[in-house]
Chains A and B, each alone.
Chain A
Amino acid sequence: MEAQIAGAGAIGGGLIQARIDADRRAEEGRLVRLAQSGDLSAFERLYRENERKVFALCLRLSSDAALAEELTQDVFVRAWQKLGSFRGESAFSSWLYPLTVNVALSERRTRRRRTARFFTTDDLTPFDRPPEKPAGGPEAGFDLEKAMAALPPGARAVFVLHDVEGYKHGEIAGLLGMAVGTSKAQLHRARKLLREALES
Chain B
Amino acid sequence: MTCPEADDRLDDYVDGALGEGEFQEVELHLASCEACREQERRTRSILAQARALPREVAPARDLWAGIAGRIEAGPRARPGWWLPAGLAAAAVLAAGLAVSVLRDGGPGTNAPPGDPPGLAPAAYEEALGGAERDYERAATALMGALQERRDRLSPETIASVERNLEVMDRALAEVRAALERDPGNKELTRMLVSTHRKKVDTLRRVVRLSTPLQGAGDGEEG
Contact = CB atoms under 8 A, between A and B. Distances in A.
- What is the size category of the interface that chain A forms with chain B? 35 or more
A145 B53 contact: yes
A85 B152 contact: yes
Contact of A191 (B11, B70, B82, B151): B11
Interface string A97-110: 00000000000000
Given A53-B56, A65-B60, A69-B63, A84 B152 contact: yes
Contacts of A56: 54-57
B66 interface: yes
Q: Helix, strand, loop or mixed for chain A's interface?
A: helix
Given A65-B60, A73-B66, A73-B70, A83 B80 contact: yes
Interface residues of B, number: 43
Nearest to A127: B57
Given A126-B58, A132-B52, A144-B46, A84 B80 contact: yes
What are the 8 tightest A-B residue pairs by CB atom distance, in nearest-first order?
A84-B80, A52-B56, A83-B79, A38-B78, A56-B57, A84-B212, A163-B50, A195-B42
Given A38-B78, A51-B63, 20 more contacts: A35-B79, A43-B71, A47-B64, A48-B64, A51-B64, A55-B58, A55-B59, A69-B60, A69-B63, A76-B63, A80-B71, A80-B79, A81-B79, A127-B57, A133-B49, A142-B49, A144-B46, A144-B49, A194-B46, A198-B46
Interface of B: 8, 10-11, 39, 42-43, 45-47, 49-61, 63-64, 66-68, 70-72, 74, 77-82, 149, 151-152, 211-213
